[in-house]
Amino acid sequence: MSLDAVLSKIDEDLEQATDRLFELLRIPSISTDPAFKGDCDRAADWLVKDLESLGFSAAKRATPGHPMVVGHSGQNGPHVLFYGHYDVQPVDPLNLWHRDPFDPAVEETPAGKVIRGRGSSDDKGQLMTFVEACRAWKAVHGTLPGRISIFFEGEEESGSPSLIPFLKDNAEELKADIALICDTGLFDRDTPAITTMLRGLLGEEIVITGPDKDLHSGMYGGAAINPVRVLARIIAGLHDDTGRITVPGFYDGVAETPDEIRAQWEALGFDADGFLADVGLSKPAGEEGRSVLEMIWARPTCEVNGIAGGYAGDGFKTVLPSEARAKISFRLVGTQDPLNIRENFRAYVRSMLPPDCTVEFHDHGAGPASVMATDDPAFETARQALSDEWPREAAFIGSGGSIPVAGYFKEILGMDSMLIGFGLDNDLIHSPNEKYDLRSFHKGIRSWARILHALNS
């Protein structure tokens, strides 16, 4: 099977591929807004039709929310399940867009050509890189390589309410040797990446109550317990002076980053100063003695995401509040057990309560970290294929955030995921003027052709 012919076909066909992407981008499939329900449906229909034109047996599959799209092709060879999502974020505030978000175009910019439009990067442009690689392959070889299943979701931007039941109900059908998820980015413009470590997330909300009503701080101040002060002590006690988290047992399951991974990361030449400077900072604020990449990819955290109590509007009210609340999240790594940590965190909070104070806990989700089994040879195969396409060697990297679908694939389907994507940090996903570099689209298609070729060689 000639890879070169497929790559040439991709190069020749780029303009047509872009036009096809524009058709999909013109459908305003905003999943969170019921006004666009029909458009989500239309986007699913468009994809089914396109997959069928490539020889997939594809169908729109109903859920209580927006439909899934599932397609299958081939019987033999390694079986991959490709995942992307066809729904997009809302476009507000519309006045900050310099063009209609659903009227896409290729624009010239100082950094090269970009495809402008909602969904261009997140995730329609990304998922079409894989579809276009299949199309070129089919055009050259008359058939698709190996055994490919496709799984497109239409609720990723609205919390994926149907995802877990759908995976459970269709586990046999969807399980493959490995999943390919195209919803992440390049490490940088020239360096492709396979994300193999995703931090987990534990979300907790605590509500401390002292007096049973708001009091006047003149009348009661000094005698009545102030729940904001109690909350402040609880938060202040969560980290020690070296930046380590004090919850008992918190570091159980946190391993040191292996030397070879650490060496790969060092070779990336990550610009930690620039990363911090982009957000107005100059000093890493995490655990002493750790690099910034370790802090965000390989170390657990505890952050306050929100706090409120008393009167915080304009002016001043001398209130001694009855209640204070905080939303606190933990990013988890390795084999940290979120339920165990929740229990120990809650015990810590209770231990910090003075007399007359009570606490209420609200659960905002608990998911462990995902660490892919990179000793599966598919990972190294894909890494080589990516390295052949891009100026620099591909790396296995971590991600500070969570991509829940990878966890569900592991948990429900027992399948690891290779997270490979071509987005850039400046793609403005979720924001006005979202774009996807034409180069990301083009080289993304070529990357998947190389990966499919390598996996089937």
Which stretch in 98-106, 234-242, 415-423, 446-454 sits in contact with a copy of itself by CB under 8 A?
A: 234-242
Is residue 356 a contact point for a copy of itself (CB under 8 A)? yes
With CB under 8 A as the contact rule, the residue among 13, 33, 100, 205 that binds a copy of itself is 205
Which residue, 25 or 324, has its beta carbon nearer to a copy of itself? 324
- Beta carbon of residue 228, minimum distance to a copy of itself (angstroms, whole number): 4
Separation of alpha carbons 336 and 252, rounded Å: 6
> Which residues within the stretch 386-445 sit at the binding site for a copy of itself (CB under 8 A)?
399-402
E strand or H helix at 332? strand 323-332
> Which residues within the stretch 211-230 sit at the binding site for a copy of itself (CB under 8 A)?
211-213, 215-226, 228-229
Q: Where are the beta strands (DSSP E) in 130-228?
A: 147-153, 178-181, 193-198, 200-209, 215-216
Is residue 232 a contact point for a copy of itself (CB under 8 A)? yes
Is residue 281 a contact point for a copy of itself (CB under 8 A)? yes
Is residue 199 a contact point for a copy of itself (CB under 8 A)? yes
E strand or H helix at 370? strand 370-371
> Which residues within the stretch 88-147 sit at the binding site for a copy of itself (CB under 8 A)?
none
Token pair 């927006």: residue: 66
Separation of alpha carbons 422 and 84, rounded Å: 13
Is residue 262 a contact point for a copy of itself (CB under 8 A)? no
Q: What sign has the CA pseudo-torsion 143, 146, 147, 153?
A: negative
Token pair 């990336």: residue: 268
Q: Of 447, 382, 440, 385, whose CA–CA distance to 179 is shortest?
A: 382
- Beta carbon of residue 323, minimum distance to a copy of itself (angstroms, whole number): 11
Residues 6+ apart with CB under 8 A from 75: 147
With CB under 8 A as the contact rule, the residue among 95, 108, 142, 316 that binds a copy of itself is 316
Which stretch in 34-42, 90-98, 304-312, 435-443 sits in contact with a copy of itself by CB under 8 A?
A: 304-312
Which stretch in 299-307, 387-395, 406-414, 439-447 sits in contact with a copy of itself by CB under 8 A?
A: 299-307
Which residue, 20 or 189, has its beta carbon nearer to a copy of itself? 189
The alpha carbons of the chain give a radius of gyration, in whole angstroms, of: 24
Separation of alpha carbons 215 and 269, rounded Å: 56
Site for a copy of itself (CB under 8 A): how many residues?
80
Cα 68–chain centre separation:
19
Is residue 8 a contact point for a copy of itself (CB under 8 A)? no
